[in-house]
């Protein structure tokens, strides 16, 4: 009996030692494969059955990144221990937030625009409170979610949009019985929404010198990294500046008729966005400048060849002009902004839209600018995109000088 106990004890110690050794090896391996993006978020490069994978760890904290990387390399869920037991008490009865999200997505959100954004928001919220019962989502839990989003480095606008998704889902819970045919809603009251102080609007308008500097820096990065997509990024930035389109609109410009498509009419190249593909769901057509149309010709030819080759080999391939994901475009922009220096901290892709519409507003009637921008109301153009400088008032005083004598 005593011998058996000794053997069992040594066996447990040996297993524990092996587990500790494996954990240490995984810790070293995880650290070697960790990489920090320009945005500060850590990513992990690893292989699964011979296939290379790249996973965003969703944190700027190195200690937390290491722990998550270790769990991934061990085949565990990296998000499993994200919430503290005190803040989130997991229960098995009742309708969970995940079940609510699944219901709301299938019944209400499956066919709406911005699917990538919706699914991303739901995934993030699910990792926080997905296993909770809907009735357990209290004011305190909402505040905890908000704090965690802010701790990840999200700006106030991003935090607000993610909480919007949660509150919209909770509103649907006021009229849903959880599928049990009782007619009794699973939620009687939506938690109070925390106040989020909105950050200052980024209304930066690029001067001609700043525009030249931006494209010069992109050219330098392209020369230094010819294997990367800096050439395509340069064309994307030129497209945004010359059209005033939103980034989401530019990235859906297509070489077929599925979304935004390039067409030639009246001696001009146009980009046209069908109904329900724009922010206000209205169709829109814009003529391209001659410089932009000429700059895009080579890219159009390259993309047509890539698409034809993919079809020939039965490989699924995007038919969009730029063939870039939103996250990829944002990563390249973060690298470019870092190269340009701290003065560019408040410049984003949308700044190119601001610049384009502001330049038009100085020369073109405002209702035409509003139509170009795709706004449903000219007041939106006036309030958000027209940035006149003090020197622009000189024309007013010149008119008075000529009249009041």
Supply the CATH number for residue 136's domain: 1.10.150.130
pLDDT, tens only, 308-358: 888 888 887 788 899 998 889 989 999 999 999 999 988 999 999 999 998
Range of the domain at 171: 89-199
* Same-domain check for residues 370 and 231: yes
Q: How many CB atoms within 10 Å of residue 171?
A: 12
Q: Is the pLDDT of residue 15 over 60?
A: no
Of all residues in the chain, the percent with pLDDT exceeding 90 is 36
pLDDT of residue 20: 52
- 346 and 227 share a domain? yes
The answer to whether the beta carbons of residues 5 and 40 sit under 8 Å apart is no
Last residue of one domain, picked from the residues 199, 217, 240: 199
Average pLDDT over residues 37-46: 73
Q: Does the pLDDT of residue 86 top 70, yes or no?
A: no
Q: Categorize the per-residue pLDDT at 83 as very low, low, confident or very high, splitting at 50, 70 and 90.
A: very low
Using alpha carbons only, what angle is made at residue 320 by residues 315 and 321, rounded to the nearest 5 degrees? 120
In tens, the pLDDT along 17-40 reads: 555 554 454 454 544 567 777 666
| Total tally of structural domains belonging to the chain | 3
Decide which of 178, 199, 220 is a domain's last residue.
199
The band of 286, judged by pLDDT with boundaries at 50, 70 and 90, is very high
Largest CA distance in the chain: 117
Structure tokens at 85: 């037991």
Which pLDDT does position 5 carry in this prediction? 46
Say if residue 260 is in the same domain as residue 325.
yes
Shared-domain flag, residues 267 and 140: no
Distance (Å, rounded) from C-alpha 378 to C-alpha 367? 6
Of 73, 108, 126, the position where a domain reaches its end is 73
- The verdict on 152 and 285 lying in the same domain is no
Domain identity same for 288 and 375: yes
Q: Please check the confidence at residue 241 and state whether its pLDDT lies above 60.
A: yes
Task: Provide mean pLDDT across the span 130-142.
Answer: 91
Decide: 46 and 55 in contact? Cβ < 8 Å: yes
CA distance 206 to 346: 11
């Amino acid at each position: 009996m005593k011998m058996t106990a000794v053997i069992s004890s040594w066996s447990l110690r040996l297993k524990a030692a092996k587990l500790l050794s494996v954990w240490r090896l995984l810790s070293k391996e995880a650290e070697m494969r960790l990489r920090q993006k320009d945005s500060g978020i850590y990513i992990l490069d690893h292989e699964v059955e011979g296939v290379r994978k790249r996973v965003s760890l969703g944190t700027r904290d190195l200690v937390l990144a290491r722990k998550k990387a270790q769990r991934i390399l061990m085949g565990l869920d990296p998000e499993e221990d994200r919430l503290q037991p005190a803040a989130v008490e997991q229960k098995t009865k009742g309708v969970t937030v995940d079940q609510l999200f699944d219901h709301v997505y299938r019944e209400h959100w499956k066919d709406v625009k911005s699917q990538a954004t919706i699914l991303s928001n739901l995934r993030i919220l699910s990792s926080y409170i997905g296993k909770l019962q809907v009735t357990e989502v209290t004011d305190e839990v909402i505040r905890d979610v908000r704090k965690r989003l802010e701790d990840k480095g999200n700006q106030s606008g991003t935090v607000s949009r993610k909480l919007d998704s949660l509150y919209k889902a909770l509103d649907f819970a006021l009229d849903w019985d959880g599928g049990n045919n009782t007619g009794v809603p699973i939620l009687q009251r939506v938690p109070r929404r925390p106040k989020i102080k909105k950050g200052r609007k980024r209304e930066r308008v690029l001067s001609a010198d700043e525009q030249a500097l931006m494209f010069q820096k992109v050219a330098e990065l392209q020369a230094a990294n010819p294997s990367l997509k800096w050439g395509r990024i340069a064309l994307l930035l030129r497209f945004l500046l010359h059209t005033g389109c939103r980034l989401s609109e530019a990235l859906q410009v297509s070489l077929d008729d599925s979304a935004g498509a390039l067409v030639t009419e009246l001696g001009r190249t146009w980009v046209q966005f069908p109904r329900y593909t724009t922010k206000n769901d209205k169709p829109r057509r814009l003529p391209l400048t001659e410089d932009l149309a000429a700059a895009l010709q080579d890219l159009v030819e390259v993309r047509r060849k890539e698409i034809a080759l993919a079809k020939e080999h039965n490989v699924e391939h995007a038919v969009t002009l730029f063939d870039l994901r939103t996250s990829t475009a944002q990563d390249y922009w973060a690298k470019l902004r870092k190269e340009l220096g701290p003065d560019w901290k408040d410049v984003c892709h949308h700044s190119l839209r601001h610049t384009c519409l502001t330049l038009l507003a100085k020369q073109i009637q405002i209702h035409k600018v509003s139509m170009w921008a795709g706004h449903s109301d000219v007041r939106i153009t006036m309030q958000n995109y027209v940035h006149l400088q003090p020197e622009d008032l000189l024309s007013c005083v010149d008119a008075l000088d000529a009249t009041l004598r």
